[in-house]
Amino acid sequence: MAATTTRTLDLLSLLQSHRHWTARELVDRLEVSERTLRRDVERLRELGYSIESTRGVAGGYRLQAGTGLPPLLLTDDEGVAIAVGLRSQAAAGLRGAEHTTLSALAKLEQVLPPALRRRIEAMQSVAAPLGPAGGGGSGPGGGQAAPSVDSELLGLLALCCRDAERVRMTYTDATGAASARSIEPYRLVPLGRRWYLLAWDRDRDDWRTFRLDRVGDVFPTRVRFTPRPLTDEQALERVQQAVRWRETTVRATLHVAMPLAELRSRLGWWARDAVASADGAGSVWPIEGESVAAVAAALLWVPEGAGYRVEGPPELHEYLRAQSARFAAAAAG
């Protein structure tokens, strides 16, 4: 019976990708006969799943979107991701859907195994919220594609942060040099499109910020430490300063012919109080990025119809002149 249940759940997992599977593909993936496949499909239909079947050489099966919501099959990582997202929305007070969000969260957490609930609680308790000051060093539209971070690594470090447990790990810096670190982890901070770990480096006797996609060989030592006083706001500020110092290489200042209040209403937190300022009837908007291309891309966010000029390094102006010539040629063509 256990083998039958496992096989049926494997079939459901494949069908939930919402693609059409031929019978031959499913038979090969599940390593069963066509007769067994048909029986498993009937079992899922009895549970309320609407499965469309077609005959012929290319015949097969497809899970249809139904009017109701049968039980969902989620992997551990999917369950953690959904629960963390629901908790974040509930904490933020999702307008018009507070009750729905909380009830969905309660139903999901009720059926999660204890180990997954601990991962979720740890991630939620030690991930510093972004707030309006988040977003990283680049201006809007700048930067490169975000590197992926393993969810198990996130969960493990979250538990170590929550439990104040010392960690040994390896870290590869921006130059490619790897080193062994002994740290006291404090906060996980999502900034821009990356995850960072703020920790006290025991060998260097100072705070350090680590990009999670460069962290490896994490080993919890089971040794507890006494946390130093640190608020979420202080953690976020430390990470922002470290990221700006390490990764931001190009800065520019835009003088925009638009009143500051209107600029902020058009750009939102990209022109927040800590960044943009008034300049007579216009506005001054500092931007920064990982390259001249990233800064140039941010210029596209200047509200349409507003004149502006750019102060920045010579290579930025040279890049802008080259791009303007390319745009002009493209328009003429």
pLDDT tens, position by position, 219-248: 998 889 998 888 877 887 888 778 766 555
Coil, strand, or helix at residue 60? strand
In a domain, 24, yes or no: yes
Residue 294: closest CA among 135, 132, 137:
137
| Calpha distance 140→30 (Å, rounded) | 46
What CATH number corresponds to the domain at position 51?
Answer: 1.10.10.10
Whether 312 maps to a domain, the answer reads yes
Together in a domain, 227 and 264:
no
State how far the alpha carbon of 240 is from the alpha carbons of 194, 227, 236, in Å.
Answer: 12, 21, 6
Place of tokens 């509200």: 303
**What number of residues does the chain have?**
333
Q: How far apart (Å, rounded) are the C-alpha atoms in residues 20 and 99? A: 36
- Within this chain, do residues 242 and 256 fall inside the same structural domain, yes or no? no
Q: Phi-psi category of 234—alpha, beta or left, where left has phi over 0 and alpha has psi -120 to 50?
A: alpha
Q: Which of 246, 266, 297 is the last residue of a domain?
A: 246
Do 281 and 259 fall within a single domain? yes
Same domain, 242 and 178: yes
How far apart (Å, rounded) are the C-alpha atoms in residues 299 and 261?
19
Q: Are residues 230 and 283 in the same domain?
A: no
Residues 235 and 314 in one domain: no
Tens of pLDDT, residues 255-289: 999 888 888 788 765 555 546 788 888 888 888 77
Domain boundary among 26, 47, 63: 63
Looking at the predicted structure, is the pLDDT value of residue 181 above 90? yes
- Residue 143 falls in which region: left (phi positive, over 0), alpha (psi -120 to 50) or beta: left
**Would you give the end-to-end CA distance of the chain in angstroms?**
68
Number of Cβ within 10 Å of residue 288's Cβ equals 22
Helix, strand, coil % over all residues of the chain, rounded to 5: 45, 25, 30
From 63, 81, 115, give the residue that closes a domain.
63
CATH number of the domain where residue 234 is located: 2.30.30.100
| Number of domains observed in the structure of the chain | 3
222, 258: one domain: no
Q: Is residue 122 part of a domain?
A: no
CA distances from 213 to 174, 209, 217, 225, 275 (A): 11, 12, 12, 25, 28
The segment with the largest mean pLDDT, out of 75-84, 121-130, 139-148, 260-269, is 260-269
Tell me, yes or no, whether 316 lies in a domain.
yes
Range of the domain at 293: 250-332
Residue 226 and residue 269 share a domain? no
- pLDDT of 92: 45
CATH code assigned at 285 = 3.30.70
pTM: 0.47
Mean pLDDT (whole number) for 8-17: 76
